[in-house]
Amino acid sequence: MPLSNLKFDNLALKQIWELSSVDIQIGRGKTARRAYGIDEIALSPGNRTLDPNLADTKWSIGNIEREIPIIASAMDGVVDVRMAVGLSKLGALGVLNLEGIQTRYENPEPILDRIASVGKDEFVGLMQQLYAEPIKPELITQRITEIKQQGGIAAVSATPAGASKFGSVVAAAGADLFFIQATVVSTAHLSPESIVPLDLATFCQEMPMPVALGNCVTYDVSLNLMKAGAAAVMVGIGPGAACTSRGVLGVGVPQATAISDCAAARDDFFRETGKYIPVIADGGLITGGDICKCIACGADGVMIGSPFARAAEAPGRGFHWGMATPSPVLPRGTRIRVATTGTLEQILRGPAGLDDGTHNLLGALKTSMGTLGAKNIKEMQQVEVVIAPSLLTEGKVYQKAQQLGMGK
């Protein structure tokens, strides 16, 4: 469906679409849409406020309901068995990377120590070496079992190729959620004759658990993924703190526009089928304010990596690296130092020990919803959005000069 024919149930979606729908001439042979990033927008209060304790942040993926609409990314410096269990018990969700360190090594601790200790010039080569170790199906089973035995939700992630190869192992192990993720996923992937691509629709239909698909940034692709049977759709190409895809490939759409486009597809799909497929904003989010703005743009939940990599319980030892970092052919991620700033509970539920919006993410969401008068996630998606490139700098001269608060 052309975007010009869309019907909008969401005020924020309509605002962003109107602002980004005007073509700008790059040259005589090329025009472009204006796209907006999360840092370029702000949320405008309406006529009502409410006590933050009344804000209901619950959401669902498939048959799994969570209190907190925040997912920890499937990155080796962010989620291991311990983190997955901890996030589950705190009301959120953590996704384990099935093609990472945890399923290549019986004891990943010495490997993680090596990643944390190597210099930045030797890092890429070391990663390519460490990730050349074969994935062991028995470790996939073991990690899923360990999460479930400790009372956690076993959410796991693989690339389309990994899902094709290990899907039966994941199903037999009893995983609760399966995320299929790549830089870009589509239902119209062309492969050489010698390679049979994963049929996403068949895979979603045959797997015994909900399957989330991503990543994408456009209305058409997200709609096609929903039609293929996705239990959720991940939105975002390259905004992550440790991701270099935008620089390496030149590919991506700023998150505010990408989320609103994909959320419009969700709303149209719901009108046509009666099935509501959540949209997950994936990447580029650091603070509670970032999360709030994503939901206001139409997201049902968010997936974040670097904020959780800063937890004392995180496996990365104060470092964070992208999923495509160890590619043997074209690395599209790097390792960044995020340091350790608090416990997982402090970061997710508080009390905050920092003043820059990176602690108590749930509290930030509830307080923002109270300020905006939004009783639940659906109402939060309806709040007014304004274009405000000066939002984070206006009046913050002293914070910036002294590197305090928002000036860090």
CA distance 139 to 141: 5
Q: Say yes or no to pLDDT of 108 above 60.
A: yes
Of 243, 292, 294, 297, the active-site residue reads 243
| Average confidence score pLDDT of the chain | 90
172: Cα within 13 Å, side-chain hemisphere:
10
pLDDT at residue number 191: 64
Per-residue pLDDT of 143-184, as tens digits, reads 999 999 999 999 999 999 999 999 999 999 999 999 999 877
**292 to 26, 352, 372: CA distances (angstroms):** 33, 17, 10
CA distance 294 to 282: 10
Averaged pLDDT for residues 90-100 = 97
Question: Could you tell me which residues come within 8 angstroms of residue 319 by beta carbon, excluding any fewer than 6 positions away?
Answer: 77, 115, 116, 309, 335, 336, 337, 338
Q: Say yes or no to pLDDT of 366 above 70.
A: yes
| pTM of the shown model | 0.90
Per-residue pLDDT of 130-151, as tens digits, reads 999 999 999 999 999 999 999 9
Per-residue pLDDT of 173-220, as tens digits, reads 999 999 999 877 777 666 676 676 789 999 999 999 999 999 999 999
Element of type H or E holding 216: strand 211-216
Could you give the residue ranges of the DSSP H alpha helices within 119-228?
123-130, 137-149, 160-173, 200-206, 219-227
Q: Say yes or no to pLDDT of 3 above 50.
A: no
CATH number of this structure's domain 3-407, picked from the four choices 3.20.20.70, 3.30.930.10, 3.30.1130.10, 3.90.1300.10: 3.20.20.70
Dihedral of CA atoms 72, 73, 77, 81 in degrees, nearest 10, equals 60
The answer to whether 313 touches 92, Cβ cutoff 8 Å, is no
The answer to whether 359 touches 353, Cβ cutoff 8 Å, is yes
Backbone angles phi, psi at 19, to 5 degrees: -70, -30
Catalytic, 243? Answer: yes
Catalytic, 337? Answer: yes
CA distance 304 to 96: 13
Averaged pLDDT for residues 334-358 = 94
Q: Say yes or no to pLDDT of 5 above 70.
A: no
The residue type found at 338 is V
